[in-house]
Chain A
Amino acid sequence: MIQTYLIHLFILIGIYIILTLSLNLTIGYSGLLNLGHVALFGIGAYTSTLLVMNGLPFLLSFLTAGILAAISGALLYGLTRKLKGDYLALATLGFSFVIYSIMLNWIDLTRGPLGIPGIPKPLIFGLTIQSTGVYLFFTFIITLISIGILTLITRSTFGRLLQAARDDEIGLRVLGKNTYALRYKSMAIAGFFAGIAGSIYAHYISYIDPSSFSLTNLIFLLTAVIVGGLASVRGSIIAPFILILIPEALRFIDMPSSILGPLRQIIYCLILLVILLYRPRGICGRIDLQ
């Protein structure tokens, strides 16, 4: 029993590491306060779910989920690239709400607030991942690959250019670097990982509805990025552990779920505010935003 519970937690942690790290690529490394990340996560989840339920092989759906979310991320940047600072944040927040509205209201596609139950477990090379243990292994592998790729990107000369563009966009452009192209790529990469995280999530939970991709989840991701530290890969790996495990302590106190839910959110908000006030660079961060 405790074993299944731990497996469950670690699968979630794996998914959130991918999400936090990819969000950090845009916020921390590229300096774009992208509040649309949770929508990209949702796009990935719904894409993968709908494709698999319409008969496509899992791996193909999984990749399509990533690619579609990547395209959405690039598109979002294309629409908002002229905006800066808080206006960019509001516009991308808007994107999250628009996607949320679509999930909620395009009933024919998403079944709206009822959600989609019975999402099948992944079938890879003729083998279905039935047990959560194997699913944890699958998540672990994907998480490891994601961490590897994102670490490489952040350490590469490309990642350094992203950071330079974050620190001074004009200063980089007069050195002959196309900052728009850099950021398109950055948003697309972040979108891709958000998308595959969505796919892993959907096929694990086996039920998705729009509420999983709302502001609540966005707060969690923002908190994770800030707690871990902007532009810190290590921080974005550690933070999801802390943030997922801390509220789990509440589970051992007997409490109705109507209290547990808000309480968990309150804890996240308090952690976020306290970190912003007293340790703005997070656990491992090196930089301040702007």
Chain B
Amino acid sequence: MSFPIAQLLANSLIIGSIYALVAVGFSLIYSTNRFVHLAHGATVVAAGYALYSTFTLLHLPFILACILTIALSSVIGFLMFKAIYEPLQKRKSSTVIMLIASIGLLTLIENLILLFFGADVKTIGLLEVRQGINIAGAIITPLQIVLVLTSLTLLTVFYLFMKKTTLGRNLRAVADHKELASIMGLNPTRLMAISFIIGSALAGIAGILIALEQNLDPSMGTDLMIKGFSGAIVGGIYSVPGSILGSYLVGTAENVGTWFLPSGYKNAITFTLLFLFLLLRPKGIFGVDKGVRE
């Protein structure tokens, strides 16, 4: 079989769109809070299961189910910040401690889902699997087109929000220089909480899209988290366009890579890419040089 460039690119675009939503949320939280929130991946999975519960189990209207899911994701993010991260930050815990705490949270949420929903995969079943349409030699389902478009629209909106609105500007101010921002009368803690709410809402949307496109299983949070932070770091963790580009790059790398290697190596490929960037260009493609973190 010849190398199916079109199909691989289409697949990269689809999966990259989901990764990008995870990555920008992760990058927003990282740049305002300055620690790695690995449990972000768990928020995505929790959102997927929330959609499954509200839509598939409770038969709520799809739009309502989505709204509830996104709201729940924000609440989860906010609670993680309030219950764990904020007290830790108040005690001036190092980033390393925050990271360990976030691994704890990631595993905690994954296992709670496992406890309530079991290990077997869940499907949402909103649409029957339709015949894909052929675009330039790539087979793409209508759902996947909707998914890509939704993601791209949201990413644009988010980018404009960060660039144009006062809140976005304040968030960037805290990201740039926390002490200075607080001298200027901004409340960093409040803005950090807001970044968790917004970032987790984006994770919620990513969770919905993933739940529609793939089967749900409790352990997918770790995978998504790897893709999310790899995308963000590869692209430049402090930059929204960078995180988006990085995510598409990660999507492409794993799709092209698994053409040559067994598909089980997806994570390994992502990590190799991440490794190369960490070693050769730790600030990422669009990196603003804020130095390798102490």
A residues contacting B by CB (< 8 A) are 33, 35, 79-80, 82-87, 89-91, 94-95, 97-98, 100-102, 104-105, 112, 215-216, 218-219, 222-223, 226, 258-259, 261-263, 265-266, 268-270, 272-273, 276-277, 280, 288-290
Q: Which residues of B contact A223 (CB under 8 A)?
A: 104
Contact A273 B101 (CB under 8 A): yes
Contact B265 A105 (CB under 8 A): yes
- The majority secondary structure among interface residues of chain A is helix
- Contact among A90, A104, A265 for B264, CB-based, below 8 A: A104
Q: Which 8 A-B pairs have the closest CB atoms?
A: A94-B271, A269-B108, A290-B94, A101-B268, A105-B264, A262-B111, A262-B114, A265-B111
Q: When chains A and B are docked, how far (Å) is the Cα of A112 from the Cα of B266? A: 15
Is residue B222 within 8 Å, beta carbon to beta carbon, of the partner chain?
yes
Q: When chains A and B are docked, how far (Å) is the Cα of A23 from the Cα of B275? A: 22
Residues in B91-116 with C-beta less than 8 Å from chain A: 91, 93-101, 103-105, 107-108, 111-112, 114-115
Contact B278 A83 (CB under 8 A): yes
Map CB proximity to A onto B254-287 as digits: 1 under 8 Å, 0 otherwise: 0000000110111110011011001100100000
How many residues of chain B get a CB closer than 8 Å to chain A's CBs?
Answer: 47
Map CB proximity to A onto B222-252 as digits: 1 under 8 Å, 0 otherwise: 1000100100010000000000000000000
Contact B292 A87 (CB under 8 A): yes
Q: Which residues of A contact B35 (CB under 8 A)?
A: 86
| A–B Cβ pairs within 8 angstroms, 22 of them | A33-B96, A33-B100, A83-B282, A86-B99, A86-B293, A87-B233, A97-B267, A98-B271, A98-B272, A101-B266, A101-B267, A101-B268, A112-B264, A215-B222, A222-B100, A258-B119, A262-B115, A263-B115, A268-B107, A269-B107, A276-B88, A288-B94
Q: Which residues of B contact A87 (CB under 8 A)?
A: 233, 278, 282, 292-293
B residues contacting A by CB (< 8 A) are 35-36, 84, 87-88, 91, 93-101, 103-105, 107-108, 111-112, 114-115, 118-119, 222, 226, 229, 233, 261-262, 264-268, 271-272, 274-275, 278-279, 282, 292-294
Q: Which residues of A contact B229 (CB under 8 A)?
A: 90
Given A219-B107, A273-B108, A276-B88, CB of A90 within 8 Å of CB of B36: yes
Q: Which residues of A contact B293 (CB under 8 A)?
A: 84-87
Given A79-B279, A277-B87, CB of A85 within 8 Å of CB of B105: no
Contact B275 A91 (CB under 8 A): yes
Contact B36 A101 (CB under 8 A): no
With both chains docked as a complex, state the minimum distance between the C-beta of B77 and any C-beta of chain A, in angstroms: 16
Q: When chains A and B are docked, how far (Å) is the Cα of A49 from the Cα of B93? A: 41
**Residue from B103, B114, B222 having most chain A Cβ neighbours under 10 A:** B103
Given A97-B268, A262-B112, A280-B91, CB of A90 within 8 Å of CB of B103: no
